Amino acid sequence: MSWDIDSVATELLACEAERRDRVKFTDEWPELDVETGYKIQDETLRRRLERGEKLIGVKLGLTSRAKQERMGVKTPFVAWLTDAMILPADLPVPQDKLIHPRIEPELVFIMGDRLEGPGVTGAQALAAVSHVLGGAEIIDSRYRDFKFLAGDVVADNASSGAYMTGPVALPPESVDLSTEAVLVEVDGAIVDSATGASIMGHPAEALALAANDLAKRGLAIEAGWVILTGGMTDAVFAPPGSSVACHFTSLGSVFFNGG
Q: Which residues bind Mg ion (CB under 5 A)?
A: 137, 231
Q: Tell me which DSSP letter residue 250 carries.
A: S
CB 63 within 8 A of CB 206: yes
CB 211 within 8 A of CB 115: yes
The listed partner (Mg ion, ligand 0L1, none) that binds 141, CB under 5 to 8 Å by sort, is ligand 0L1
Residue least distant from Mg ion (Cβ): 137
62 sits near ligand 0L1 (criterion: CB under 6 A)? yes
71 sits near ligand 0L1 (criterion: CB under 6 A)? yes
Nearest to 92 by CA among 196, 238, 250: 238
- Rounded to the nearest whole angstrom, what is the least distance from the CB of residue 120 to ligand 0L1 in the complex? 20
Task: Please spell the DSSP secondary structure of 104-169, one letter per residue.
Answer: EEEEEEEESS-B--SS--HHHHHHTEEEEEEEEEEE--SBGGG---HHHHHHTGGG--EEEEEEEE
User: 189 φ, ψ to 5°?
Assistant: -115, 135
- Rounded to the nearest whole angstrom, what is the least distance from the CB of residue 138 to Mg ion in the complex? 9
C-beta closer to Mg ion: residue 14 or 191: 191
153 sits near ligand 0L1 (criterion: CB under 6 A)? yes
The listed partner (ligand 0L1, Mg ion, none) that binds 159, CB under 5 to 8 Å by sort, is ligand 0L1
- Candidate segments 21-29, 36-44, 138-146, 198-206, binder of ligand 0L1 by CB under 6 A: 138-146
C-beta closer to ligand 0L1: residue 142 or 247: 142
146 sits near ligand 0L1 (criterion: CB under 6 A)? yes
Q: Rounded distance, CA 141 to CA 240, Å? A: 18
Task: Spell out, one character per residue from 85 to 114, where the chain touches ligand 0L1: x when CB under 6 A holds, - when not.
Answer: -------------------x----------
61 sits near ligand 0L1 (criterion: CB under 6 A)? yes
Contact pick of 230, 233, 247, 248 for ligand 0L1 (by CB under 6 A)? 230
Q: CA-based Rg of the chain, rounded to a whole angstrom?
A: 17
Nearest to 245 by CA among 103, 108, 110: 103
User: 29 φ, ψ to 5°?
Assistant: -140, 75
Which positions touch ligand 0L1 (CB under 6 A)? 61-62, 67, 71, 104, 137, 139, 141, 146, 153, 158-159, 230-231
